[in-house]
Homo-oligomer: A and B are copies of this chain.
Amino acid sequence: MLAKKHPPVANLPSARWLALAEALRPALSRNDRWPVRLVEPVADPSAFQGWRLKEVAAAEALPARTIGRGEQVIVDFGEHLVGYLRLELAYVGIAMDAPLRLKLVFGEVPAEVCEPFDPFDGTLSRAWLQDELVTLDELSRPLTLPRRYAFRYLRIAVVATSVNYRVRIAALACERVTSAARPPQPLPPGLPPDLVAIDEAGLRTLANCMQTVFEDGPKRDRRLWSGDLRLQALTNYVSFADTALVKRCLYLLAGLARADGCVPACVYEFPTPSMGIDFILDYTALFPAIVLDYARASGDLDTARDLWPVARRQLEIALAHLDDEGLFVDPKTWWLFIDWADGLDKQAAVHGVLAYAAERTLALARLLERDADVAHLPALAPRMKSAARARLFDAGSGLFVSGAQRQVSWASQTWMVLAGIMTPAEGAAAFRALPALPDAVTPGGPYLWHHVIEAMLICGLKDESLARVRSYWGAMIARGATTFWEVFDPADERRSPYRSHHLNSYCHAWSCTPAYFIRRGAFAGIIGPGSTPADGRKPMAH
């Protein structure tokens, strides 16, 4: 923990900021969604995580069915939803002479409704898994479950009845909730269908995470994380354009800063706004970038100026971990995130993050005419660049290395490009070389893949970046996704940072950004009428 290293900063107007955040709490739009089909599990090694859900009937068949003790139905709502489940149940038989007990299991992906959750060996709480045991003494009123769920599939198992009745599901609906109420901005015309589908899943991911804050995942953790917020906000600006929700989240994070001014990596909204327990150095450093993006997208420089003291403080806290030459050295007291990849050495990537963050903070200062506050920054960039190039660049391979073991990774090259420490030409060569290097640590999830795409675009690798979007996020679509996932390793579909693929979030904020790239025109010229979507190559005419 960093708390003891920095002096308390008492001058942040936390209470005022939290009051501003509260005033910006959005109303949720609420709309009913209904099942589209009844399905049953088929074990299928070729299907995602080994399970296929085969349609057995249209959803209209549901009210005509009766379900007895030990039986179940699985319904498919056709798309990932976040909301409240409403059931109308009836009994069929001579009398409902005993209570009814149902087990309800909500699944974002098929495995959740096809596999038992127990015994459970995950490293996070079992309570994140969305199952409920519901006992009903009578069936006279529609049942609305009190908790919110994130799901596409719902397994309803009848655990107990008497011998005298069976159960009929007369009606079933999900009241979908989101604060992304307005329609998204239109897509550029002529987009190939696969990218339309990727954009749609990206925006659904974003919308389902847009509640009264930008949540990271509506199944888990259901919290505002600054790292997710940065990517959500970018995608939001080019789609739902809800700058007020970003403003609310910035004030929540800022208002819940620690005594030393450090903004937590995440905050809790309920029961009352409070600081999360996690502090992530790269997230801290990138906070000013979120403010800059917000200021540019909204034009609301007043808010950015209001937040400037906390923004610059984040960079200050992060830069405290540079050594005398300006190189980042892991203090071992912080969580460094960067990516979920196993065994990733994060020194080089975090160095890149810090340099990138310094550049963003300087840009923010200039936009806000606060240059004087960061007069030391213009000289810092070349120092950090020199230090990195002297101590982390391997001239032989043309790649940046990280840590004592001089590890090569996609993460390191990516952040060195984003920081401007690696030139676009060097970066292009690196990204072309990396796939052939068996020891190079590959990205472990969408958060890093987002930054890889961004870095490739800087390096002019427009075709390659589009191909990566198609091969990575498109592979989720091919596996049935209607929202993008927190974790996705095409080579290990059950990979989980939490020792349980059931715990993974399958609608996760940081995975929504293909929509951002598509909508900001990152692939302009290589997609559209006449382009060749199958492999993403430039159309002949260009």
Contact = CB atoms under 8 A, between A and B. Distances in A.
Contacts of A262: none
Interface stretch (A108-116, A155-163, A290-298, A349-357): A155-163
Interface in A497-535: none
Interface string A130-161: 00110101111100000110000000000111
Contacts of A268: 95-97
A159 B127 contact: yes
A56 to B, nearest CB: 27
Interface in A177-232: 220-223
Nearest to A161: B125
B138 A127 contact: no
A471 interface: no
B99 A125 contact: yes
Contacts of A161: 125, 127
A135 B94 CA distance: 33
Copies of this chain present: 2
A45 to B, nearest CB: 31
A397 interface: no
A124 interface: yes
Given A100-B127, A126-B159, A140 B271 contact: yes
A125 B276 contact: no
B277 A137 contact: no
A479 interface: no
Q: Which of A124, A135, A270 neighbours the largest number of chain B CB atoms within 10 Å of its CB? A: A135
Contact of A221 (B97, B139, B271): B97
A137 B126 contact: no
A26 to B, nearest CB: 19
A277 B97 CA distance: 9
A315 to B, nearest CB: 26
Given A160-B127, A161-B127, A138 B99 contact: no
A374 interface: no
A493 B223 CA distance: 52
A95 B276 contact: yes
Contacts of A276: 95, 97
A98 interface: yes
Contacts of A124: 98, 162
A69 to B, nearest CB: 8
A538 interface: no
B125 A277 contact: no
B101 A140 contact: no
A334 interface: no
Given A132-B135, A135-B132, A270-B140, A160 B126 contact: yes
A523 B497 CA distance: 74
Nearest to A220: B98
Contacts of A220: 98
B147 A277 contact: no
Contact of A127 (B135, B223, B274): B135
Contacts of A31: none
A270 B138 contact: yes
A423 interface: no
A135 B160 contact: no
A164 interface: yes
Interface in A88-106: 94-101
A160 B500 CA distance: 15
Interface in A416-459: none
A-B pairs, 4 with minimum CB distance: A140-B271, A98-B125, A126-B160, A99-B127
Interface of A: 94-101, 124-128, 132-133, 135, 137-141, 147-148, 159-162, 164, 220-223, 268, 270-272, 274, 276-277
6 contacts: A98-B124, A98-B221, A99-B127, A127-B159, A127-B161, A140-B271
